């Protein structure tokens, strides 16, 4: 156990795929004692905290439960004190208590989250846990791997060095399209002996394969670094198949970590019957060379030129390029002697280029108050260069390496994570410490990973994100979300969708509560003012309102496409309640407006449809219809807390339009279908009734829009 996992070269771990061959080993651990088993045990010990939405809805449920009991008691006592009969008053109190609870809320939340999961899946983000959809909208730190997520995972040669010159290679990825430029002028490899030999060594001393399909789209088989060499040669017109036929391989010395070189022996070269080609680490290869290749043949490699070559290597490496050196010799010798007294040809510098869409995604993160953090096992210089290129860090930003993380205590790491956006040479255990420190600082963090050892970090994060292409089954099983394209921009798109979903949940919660509180005020105040015989709404009418006409618009509000500034807002705090001060003021004003509209309509109805000592069915029908229309018209204003509905497009939400039409149809059915009149205690209304009901029903909508306008002016004055 004292030996790091990565250094246990003679150990075969459980779940390692074996593609071919035979072997014999000694089993020293099984089940829970294996490394996989240890990870599984640790995963079981991690307890999942409730999501922000769970906490908010649980809190809201407790408040509504208390309100329900209080309302029931107050209405019952009020009615009895005013001389009403017990059974009708009791039935009204119970119905009103039921109306006070938005029964459709859990179903609407579930449906909205499920539809959000579908939209995210359409954007290459598969969310495994329903409530994680909303949590994504709370994320304020995105911790991402570099390779394949921020970058294309397609190594690309961008620089060629031969003694005395640096040639630039354009084009990205594995597509064999691009030019070779020296001082902005194209270079013809066919007429340049040194460049031709450099590219030839790269093609032949190589075990990868470049594959072009019928559409000429390129893919690779083998190591990405070796594939980059094939692509560079193909840009100069040197095809792999042609080169292998002209210079068949006779033998090879595979790469190993001690020699840091690979050598192949070939026939067909004019210099000798057998020629060896070598690639490897520049500092190793250069010391094994005694000559260098010039345009007119090999020349002596002086100490001064060696130092110039090594300085060129350092400059390329400082630009975050992975550098390989290339050499050759005639192959009279055998074995490792082939890698001595060689002729130096040149260097190739390559990089895994950033994904084109990631820069815009990171800019979007910054505008949304989200910090993008790179966590990579690569070297510090490479990580910093990529991060700067993507705009993740400035000149003075802090960078932490794995060994520096080891030297920090947990408290020191908590401070460090607030100012660090790049972590280099990190292990999976470092990831766990980083995400734990972020969470303890109050952040809601997502963490990406693809390996078995990343499972702990994925499980510890608020949102664990596994790679769908390169990820292991263990990492996918531990994650909340899987990226089918391994793309950082997909995470940002998912965060945007999460924000939209949470905003929509707030909208329909505010809509439902304003309607329900309005209904409570109507029953309570009308009974208090007019007496228990003049209750404006009967129990069955309240239940019909709550179960049918409220739910459809609420569900439609959950399908809003998002406001223009959804990614310009700062992330909400971890313990921020779902109902803030602005929302409570909106609910209160809307409830009062609904009460005023319905109470006035009810008063007019009592005059138009009088009854001795009690409210008539006609008056109650007017109150019932006015309330339904007021709530349905209010749903259009509920599409945004801040934006006037005109600026969003009054009828842009086609789902809401259909929901309102359906609810209106259900409303008309209970009024104008004769056999339903006695069930709902309704009567058919005249055209004259509609002339005053419709304007009154517009009152809550008008109050909401005026409120947005006033709030906008107030916010501008405050700066």
pLDDT band at 338 (very low <50, low <70, confident <90, very high): confident
For residue 196, the number of C-alpha atoms closer than 13 Å in the C-beta half-sphere is: 12
Superfamily for domain range 156-351:
Calcium-transporting ATPase, cytoplasmic domain N (3.40.1110.10)
Q: Could you give the CA distance from residue 450 to residue 17 in angstroms, rounded to a whole number? A: 16
- Phi, psi torsion values for 265, nearest 5 degrees: -115, 135
pLDDT band at 76 (very low <50, low <70, confident <90, very high): confident
Q: Could you give the CA distance from residue 20 to residue 18 in angstroms, rounded to a whole number? A: 6
Q: Could you give the CA distance from residue 393 to residue 422 in angstroms, rounded to a whole number? A: 8
Does the pLDDT value for residue 4 go beyond 60?
A: no
145 is catalytic: yes
pLDDT above 90 covers what percent of the chain? Answer: 47
Residue 544 pLDDT: 86
- Phi, psi torsion values for 447, nearest 5 degrees: -135, 130
Name the pTM for this structure: 0.80
Residue 292 · residue 299 · CB < 8 Å:
yes
Does the pLDDT value for residue 177 go beyond 60?
A: yes
* Tens of pLDDT, residues 671-694: 999 999 999 999 999 999 999 999
Residue 88 pLDDT: 76
Q: Could you give the CA distance from residue 447 to residue 475 in angstroms, rounded to a whole number? A: 11
- Phi, psi torsion values for 344, nearest 5 degrees: -70, 135
Average pLDDT over residues 90-107: 74
Average pLDDT over residues 5-18: 71
Residue 588 · residue 606 · CB < 8 Å:
no
pLDDT band at 5 (very low <50, low <70, confident <90, very high): low
pLDDT band at 719 (very low <50, low <70, confident <90, very high): low
* Tens of pLDDT, residues 378-395: 878 888 888 988 999 877
Does the pLDDT value for residue 548 go beyond 90?
A: no
Helix (H, G, I), strand (E, B) or coil at 512: helix
Instruction: Please provide the CATH number assigned to the domain covering 101-124+494-516+533-564+578-717.
Output: 1.20.1110.10
Superfamily for domain range 138-151+355-486:
HAD superfamily/HAD-like (3.40.50.1000)
Residue by residue, DSSP assigns 72-91 as HHHHHHHHHHTT--HHHHHH
Residue 154 · residue 222 · CB < 8 Å:
no
Does the pLDDT value for residue 206 go beyond 60?
A: yes
**Ranges of H-type helices in 391-487:** 402-406, 410-416, 428-440, 455-460, 473-478
Q: Could you give the CA distance from residue 399 to residue 265 in angstroms, rounded to a whole number? A: 44
Residue 447 pLDDT: 92
Do the two domains 101-124+494-516+533-564+578-717 and 156-351 of this chain adopt the same fold?
A: no
523: CB partners within 8 A, 6+ apart: 75, 92, 96, 535, 536, 537, 542
What is the maximal distance between C-alpha atoms in the chain? Answer: 121
Residue 491 · residue 144 · CB < 8 Å:
yes
Does the pLDDT value for residue 532 go beyond 80?
A: no
Geometric angle at alpha carbon 130, from 125 and 136, rounded to 5°: 55
Q: Could you give the CA distance from residue 625 to residue 623 in angstroms, rounded to a whole number? A: 6
pLDDT above 70 covers what percent of the chain? Answer: 96
Does the pLDDT value for residue 357 go beyond 70?
A: yes
Instruction: Find where tokens 């032949």 sit.
Output: 204
Q: Which is it for the CA torsion 515, 520, 526, 532, positive or negative?
A: positive
Return the domain boundaries, the chain: 101-124+494-516+533-564+578-717, 138-151+355-486, 156-351
pLDDT band at 666 (very low <50, low <70, confident <90, very high): very high
Q: Could you give the CA distance from residue 56 to residue 64 in angstroms, rounded to a whole number? A: 12
DSSP secondary structure letter of residue 421:
E
Residue 390 · residue 358 · CB < 8 Å:
yes
The pLDDT mean for the chain works out to: 87
- Between 37 and 144, the higher pLDDT residue: 144
Q: Which of 358, 346, 400 is nearest to 375 (CA)?
A: 400
The token pair at 695 is 């304007």
Q: Could you give the CA distance from residue 405 to residue 287 in angstroms, rounded to a whole number? A: 35
* Tens of pLDDT, residues 289-329: 999 999 888 999 999 999 999 999 999 988 888 899 999 99
**Residue 204 neighbours by CB distance under 10 Å:** 26
Residue 216 pLDDT: 75
342-364 core/surface letters (b: 16 or more CB in 10 A; e: else): bbbbbbbbbbbbbbeebbebbeb
Does the pLDDT value for residue 1 go beyond 60?
A: no
pLDDT band at 8 (very low <50, low <70, confident <90, very high): low
pLDDT band at 654 (very low <50, low <70, confident <90, very high): very high
Residue 404 pLDDT: 92
Instruction: Find where tokens 């069955």 sit.
Output: 540
Active-site residue identified among 140, 145, 454, 462:
145
Does the pLDDT value for residue 6 go beyond 70?
A: no
């Amino acid at each position: 156990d004292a030996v790091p996992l990565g250094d246990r070269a003679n150990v075969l771990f459980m779940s390692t795929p074996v593609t071919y061959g035979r072997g014999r080993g000694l089993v020293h651990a099984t089940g829970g004692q294996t490394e996989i088993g240890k990870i599984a045990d640790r995963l079981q010990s991690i307890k999942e905290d409730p999501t922000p939405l769970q906490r908010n809805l649980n809190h809201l449920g407790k408040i509504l439960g208390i309100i329900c009991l209080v309302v029931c008691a107050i209405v019952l006592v009020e009615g009895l004190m005013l001389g009403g009969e017990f059974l009708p008053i009791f039935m009204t109190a119970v119905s009103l208590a039921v109306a006070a609870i938005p029964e459709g809320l859990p179903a609407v939340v579930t449906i909205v989250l499920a539809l959000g999961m579908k939209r995210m899946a359409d954007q290459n983000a598969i969310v495994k846990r329903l409530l994680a959809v909303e949590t994504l909208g709370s994320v304020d730190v995105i911790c991402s791997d570099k390779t394949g997520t921020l970058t294309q995972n397609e190594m690309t040669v961008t620089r060629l060095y031969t003694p005395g010159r640096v040639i630039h290679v354009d084009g990205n990825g594995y597509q064999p399209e691009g030019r070779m430029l020296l001082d902005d002028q194209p270079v013809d490899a066919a007429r340049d002996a040194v460049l031709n030999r450099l590219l030839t060594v790269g093609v032949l001393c190589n075990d990868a394969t470049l594959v072009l399909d019928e559409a000429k789209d390129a893919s690779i088989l083998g190591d990405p670094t070796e594939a980059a060499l094939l692509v560079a040669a193909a840009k100069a017109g040197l095809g792999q198949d042609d080169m292998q036929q002209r210079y068949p391989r006779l033998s090879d010395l595979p790469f190993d970590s001690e020699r840091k070189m690979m050598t192949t022996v070939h026939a067909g070269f004019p210099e000798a019957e057998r020629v060896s080609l070598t690639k490897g680490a520049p500092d190793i290869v250069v010391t094994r060379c005694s000559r260098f290749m010039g345009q007119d043949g090999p020349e002596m490699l002086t100490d001064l030129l060696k130092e110039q070559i090594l300085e060129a290597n350092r400059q390329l490496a400082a630009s975050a390029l992975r550098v390989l050196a290339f050499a050759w010799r005639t192959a009279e010798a055998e074995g490792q002697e082939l890698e001595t007294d060689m002729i130096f040809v040149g260097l190739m510098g390559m990089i895994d280029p950033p994904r084109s869409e990631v820069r815009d995604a990171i800019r979007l993160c910054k505008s949304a108050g989200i910090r993008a953090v790179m966590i990579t096992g690569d070297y510090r210089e490479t990580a910093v260069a990529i991060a700067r290129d993507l705009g993740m860090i400035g000149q003075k930003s802090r960078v932490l390496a794995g060994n520096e993380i080891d030297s920090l205590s947990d408290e020191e790491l908590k401070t460090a994570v607030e100012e660090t956006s790049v972590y280099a040479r990190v292990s999976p255990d470092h990831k766990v410490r980083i995400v734990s420190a972020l969470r303890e600082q109050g952040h809601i963090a997502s963490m990406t990973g693809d390996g078995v050892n990343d499972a702990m970090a994925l499980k510890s994060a608020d949102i664990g994100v596994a790679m769908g292409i390169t990820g292991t089954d263990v990492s996918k099983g531990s994650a909340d979300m899987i990226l089918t394209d391994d793309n950082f921009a997909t995470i940002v798109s998912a965060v945007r969708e999460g924000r939209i979903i949470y905003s929509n949940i707030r909208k329909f919660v505010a809509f439902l509560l304003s309607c329900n509180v309005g209904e409570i005020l109507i029953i309570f105040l009308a009974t208090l003012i007019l007496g228990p015989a003049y209750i404006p709404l009967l129990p069955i009418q309240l239940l019909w309102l709550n179960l049918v006409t409220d739910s459809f618009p609420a569900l439609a509000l959950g399908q809003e496409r998002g406001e223009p500034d959804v990614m310009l807002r700062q992330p909400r705090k971890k313990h921020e309640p779902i109902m803030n001060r602005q929302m409570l003021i909106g609910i209160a004003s809307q409830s009062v407006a609904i009460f005023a509209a319905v109470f006035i309509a009810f008063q007019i109805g009592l005059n138009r449809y009088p009854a001795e000592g009690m409210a008539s069915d006609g008056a109650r029908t007017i109150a019932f219809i006015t309330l339904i229309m007021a709530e349905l018209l209010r749903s259009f204003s509920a599409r945004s807390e801040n934006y006037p509905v005109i600026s969003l497009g009054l009828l842009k939400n086609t789902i809401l339009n259909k929901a309102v039409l359906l609810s209106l149809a259900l409303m008309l059915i209970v009024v104008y279908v004769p056999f339903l009149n006695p069930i709902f205690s309704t009567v058919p209304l005249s055209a004259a009734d509609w002339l005053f009901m419709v304007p009154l029903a517009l009152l809550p909508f008008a109050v909401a829009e005026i409120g947005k306008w006033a709030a906008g002016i107030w916010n501008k004055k405050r700066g």
